[in-house]
Amino acid sequence: MVCVVSAINDLPATVQAELLASGELSARELLDATLDRVAAVNPVLNAVVSIDEERAWAAAAAADEARAAGRSLGPLHGLPLAIKDLHATAGMRTTFGSPAFADNVPDADELVVARMRAAGAVVFGKTNVPEFGAGSHTFNPVFGLTRNPYAPDRSAGGSSGGAAAALAAGMTSLADGSDMGGSLRNPASFCNVVGHRPSPGRVPTWPAKDAWFTLGVQGPMGRTVADTALLLSVQAGPDDRAPLSLAEPGSVFTAGLPTRLHGLRIAVSPDLGGLVPVDADIATVVEGQVDLLRRLGAEVVSGCPDLTGAEEVFQTFRALNYAQSAGDLVDSEPDKVKQTVRWNVAKGRALTGADIATANRLRTELFHRVRAYFDDVDAVVLPASQALPFDAELEYPKIVGGTEVENYLHWMRAAYLISATECPATAVPAGFTADGLPIGVQVVTPHHTDLRALGIAHALEKANGHTARRPA
């Protein structure tokens, strides 16, 4: 598959931003190259949906006029951006991948979208998602299936699968996403891009049905760690409508990122301490990080935090969230909701007060065990996904690491058990199989140390060079 239209598309967003700020590149030129690339490859990949060229051209023209007039430019000035179709966009269709919302056009941007627009991003469309973001394979009855740019017969992951595929194929410079069970990290691993799951509160969510929900977070994706940090610098920062939002400003993520790791003690585990089955190629790549980390100056040990109770924490609070967010729709229009979402809602409604109390106790115990673990270790490197990109025609892989998969969530445990810890995690490209399928690792660091996770991922990225390998 040939997808080379203009080299401009494949430059890092940080480089594009410099060219736009200097006037060597105009927002219109970059948008033109972007839309040409979309026209060339999106019919195969189906990563970008609900394209609105008219609004995009108006935004690009406004960006060029602002620079010509000498006005102050935002960090994302003129950069093309497609928004995840779970995030509300004013005047642009937001479907959540559901037939029940196929014609939904919000009146207002939600907070993360408003922040990216205010920073100068040129929004031109949406990125495809699984229905209501349920599952790490991107398909829905509204727009269909998203395919992997490195192997179009394979899954691009999810739920930010459209975002990851669009990034990899040069159809967007940056991408926003969200992550409850791995939705920023699994697709990043599948598509050889970077996804950062922030600490809860780092990127405040507004509006929100449950302002205290911490399992699901919004965050950035990019083709490089520096691009991802750039987007996080805009998304992050306090908001008084989000009670758990962190006070630290997003500007902290504009700091330089390290290329050496001297003085750090980093643990590595290919299977979360024997807790999850992992495909053999992935285990090999994770184990290969040991020598690389040592060459970068880190002390490396084997190990992983004790994740006892993380499964119950994740399953309980995820089910509770689906009962709250999708329960009314399941009652009113069950035929418009896929079976797995109905299953999640039923699980949430079956929970008792005792179930929720137990999950809260386990979450507290997990928090303190992980906190204590990081007293002696600065980070842990784990697989970002247990499975390789699988056949796109399947709903989910049936066997992972030689073990039969129980349900559509179970193959994502390497990601969602980390979600339950509420630690930040950066998924970064780390290798390829012999037949060219991408493999990523996730760098997990203590609570609220997002910059450390990004920094370690950046050093790995610069040392291994895999982010430079684009799909044909």
CA distance 128 to 246: 29
3-state secondary structure of 93: coil
Q: Cα 82 to the chain's mean position, in Å?
A: 13
Which residues neighbour 66 within 8 Å (Cβ) at sequence distance 6 or greater?
73, 77, 120
Active site residues: 84, 159, 183
Task: Write out the E strands in 275-339.
Answer: 299-302
CA distance 311 to 407: 14
Q: Cα 375 to the chain's mean position, in Å?
A: 27
Residue 239 CB-density burial (10 A; 0-12 exposed, 13-18 middle, 19+ buried): middle
Q: Is the peptide bond before 159 cis (omega within 30 degrees of 0)?
A: yes
How far is CA 373 from each of CA 306, 307, 366, 429, 444, rounded to the nearest angstrom? 8, 11, 10, 26, 12
Residue closest to 296 by CA, chosen among 254, 253, 265: 265
Which residues neighbour 153 within 8 Å (Cβ) at sequence distance 6 or greater?
147, 391, 392
123 — phi, psi (to 5°)?
-80, 125
Residue 139 near residue 157 (C-beta atoms within 8 A): no
